[in-house]
Structure 1
Amino acid sequence: MSRLILFPGLGADHRMFSRLKEVGVEFITFPLPEPVAGEGLSEYALRATGTLKLSADDFIGGCSFGSVVATAVSRQVPSRGLILIGGALNGMTLRGFKWLPRIFRPYFPLSLFKPFLRTDQAMHYLFGSDNQAMNDLASAMLADTSDTMLVRGGRMLAVYGEQLKPLCPVFAIHGSMDRVMDPPPVEKCLIVPDAGHGIAYTHADEVATFLKEIQAVPDQGAEF
């Protein structure tokens, strides 16, 4: 039987998906472990699957950082489909890092940005000032995230530039107002008007409908 396995974003947890209802299959939100020093995203992604025992019938995906983790898994383990929810195929579409060549990204002092990330201003910028519920939830999840997770996870994401094609169809849904990641270069990527980076929460009905629809046509996943 198929399962839908979704990873949360960096600084987020299962609450990011708390408004998703009736997605059509068994729905599992899997927490992300804290990265180990020196660990690459490909190795981290396999460790993040833990005891899931992924099957070729499973859909795997996530939002933001979690979508890139899922992509790294899908490049190594066959599945029924890869689902990007406000996500990306690698870290090269991060809007805040486009100006910095990949070779310099491992040395970028991400720790200096930790205080800013925990401010209301950061929440408003990342998730949109018109959705206070999203901002409040993001602040609460971030408060429960360790500094180590933020810095090491952010660095892994920033340097992950893998271009290898996933071993499955790729499906994507993205907010038109996402300030964190560009829409992935996936054919038929669904763009949701007025949605930002927290699309899984703020536009849960649209995302749930999308998830149900792709289960009916897994063999028509978009190529990139």
Structure 2
Amino acid sequence: MPDATAEPRFYLIPGLGADERIFSRLTLRGRVRVLPWLPPLDPDEPLPAYAARMAEQVPLDERCWLVGVSFGGTVALEIARLRPLALVALVSSIPEAGALPPLLRFVRATGAQHWVPPQVLKWFPRVGQWYFGVNDGEEYALFKQILREQEPRYTRWAIRSLFRWDSRGVGPCVQILGTRDRIFPPGPSKVEYLIEGGTHFMVYSHAAEVSRILNQLAADFATEPPVVP
């Protein structure tokens, strides 16, 4: 049985093109490590192979929480296939490929991602601000900086990987969504934690509430594995 007195361990995986800055407002009780994105080995590197390389940073025998934001949640679920003691919390993400919202299913079906440049939001940051639900001021400044630093080759790979994701047999997770998330809006299926007013950027804008939930999860499941209905 896991040691109930052990300090919780969190591995944080940011969203597509983001980095540790989006977690800067979180206050987690335990040991925290951000898993930085690795460059894909090639444009068609399979997602499971990529996740295996990311998983090398997570000890096989360590009980921990993998906290994935947006596309980071997809990678967290794939890492969890290889780390049986890891528990997964999704922030502004989806638990399986069938949960893609209608807009993204349309993009996938039409192949629009192939002819829209991945850096398009760099040119129209205010559109991105609305879509991601980013507030003016400090949040928007950070958002624009993240957009400027996005690497097109990685972005293309990540979008392709999300649309090709084979989530069959993926393990359980706890989903944390915002009521105003335009990218992954709450659907008809059950969401364990729904943050009122939260957007796709809520790991930063609603960091206090996200932190409270993650700390509570770590405390609740200190000795027993989670049972997700």
The RMSD of aligned alpha carbons is 2.4
Number of residue pairs matched by the alignment: 218
1:163 to partner: Cα distance:
2.7
Q: Which residue of structure 2 aligns with residue 134 of structure 1?
A: 139
Alignment CA distance shift 1:7-1:90 (3 Å): same
Change (3 A) 1:161 1:87: same
Q: Say whether 1:159 aligns with 2:143.
A: no
Distance change (3 Å), C-alpha of 1:115 and 1:188 = closer
Counterpart check, 1:99 vs 2:103: no
Answer with 1 or 2: which has the greater Rg: 2
Whether contact under 8 Å (1:92, 1:158) holds in the other structure is no
Q: Distance in 1 between matches of 2:162 and 2:197?
A: 26
Q: Distance in 2 between matches of 1:140 and 1:216?
A: 35
Correspondence 1:197 to 2:204: no
The answer to whether the 8 Å contact 1:110/1:154 transfers is no
Pairing of 1:77-92 with structure 2 (within 5 A):
77-92=83-98
- Tell me which residue corresponds to 2:39: 34
Task: Name whichever of 52-61 and 154-163 sits farther off.
Answer: 52-61
User: Given the alignment of the two structures, is residue 51 of structure 1 paired with residue 75 of structure 2, yes or no?
Assistant: no
Q: Residues 64 and 87 of structure 1 are in contact (CA less than 8 Å); yes or no, is this contact kept in structure 2?
A: yes
Q: Which residue type is aligned with residue 97 of structure 1?
A: L
Name which of 64, 67, 89 aligns with 1:61: 67
Counterparts of 1:64 and 1:82, CA distance in 2: 13
Structure 2 segments unaligned to the other structure (5+ residues): 1-5
Deviation at 1:129, TM superposition (A): 5.3
Tell me how far apart the structure 2 counterparts of residues 179 and 200 of structure 1 sit (CA, whole Å).
15
Residues 188 and 222 in structure 1, CA contact (< 8 A), matched pair in contact too? no
Gapped regions of structure 1 (runs ≥ 5) = none
* Inter-partner Cα distance in structure 1 for 2:43 and 2:117: 19
Gap change, CA 1:47 and 1:80, over 3 Å in 2: closer
Equivalent AA in structure 1 for residue 160 of structure 2 = R
User: How does the TM-score come out when normalised to structure 2?
Assistant: 0.84
**Residue 4 of structure 1: aligned partner:** 10
Aligned AA (1:145):
Q
TM-score, length basis structure 1: 0.86
- 1:116 paired residue among 96, 116, 120: 120
Residue 106 of structure 2 aligns to a residue in which SS?
coil
Identify the residue that residue 125 of structure 1 maps to in structure 2.
Answer: 130
For residues 82 and 226 of structure 2, the distance between their equivalents in structure 1, rounded to whole angstroms, comes to: 18
